[in-house]
Structure 1
Amino acid sequence: MFDFDQYLGFIAFLTILSIGFWLMIFLLMFVVPYWLGGNLLEMYKERRDAKKAKREA
């Protein structure tokens, strides 16, 4: 069976693994779409401003 220190090490390993898993899920579900949406919006604004400057010139 496990000694107490092996048990604590196993619990620490599971905790770190779980934190990493939920952080990855959070980043994939919220941060990446937010980053992509903002990036696409900035590209759209730059193209719109370039077209406007080309028409005015």
Structure 2
Amino acid sequence: MVEFDQYLGFLAFLTILTIGFWLMIFLLTFVVPYWLGGNLLEMWKERQAERKAKRNE
């Protein structure tokens, strides 16, 4: 038979596992695309600035 402290440990394990799963889903769906989009936008702005500087020389 399962004792009460083992039951609480199992519930704590499931809670931590579930929180980690949803955190991973959140990071992959919102944070990573935001980071990649911002990075690509900054690279594009730098290239535009370099082209503009070359034209003005």
Matches of 1:3 and 1:11, distance apart in 2: 13
For residues 17-56 of structure 1, give each alpha carbon's deviation from its aligned partner in whole angstroms, at most 9, with x where no partner exists: 0000000000000000000000000000000000000100
Q: Which runs of 5+ in 1 are unaligned?
A: none
- Computed over aligned residues only, the root mean square deviation of the Cα atoms, in angstroms, reads 0.4
Query: 1:50 maps to what in 2?
Result: 50
Aligned positions, number: 57
SS at match of 1:2: coil
User: Equivalent residues in 2 for 1:1-57 (5 A)?
Assistant: 1-57=1-57
Report the AA paired with residue 5 of structure 2.
Answer: D
Matches of 2:31 and 2:2, distance apart in 1: 40
Q: Which runs of 5+ in 2 are unaligned?
A: none
TM-score (norm 1): 0.98
Q: Percent of aligned pairs with the same residue?
A: 79
Report the AA paired with residue 4 of structure 1.
Answer: F
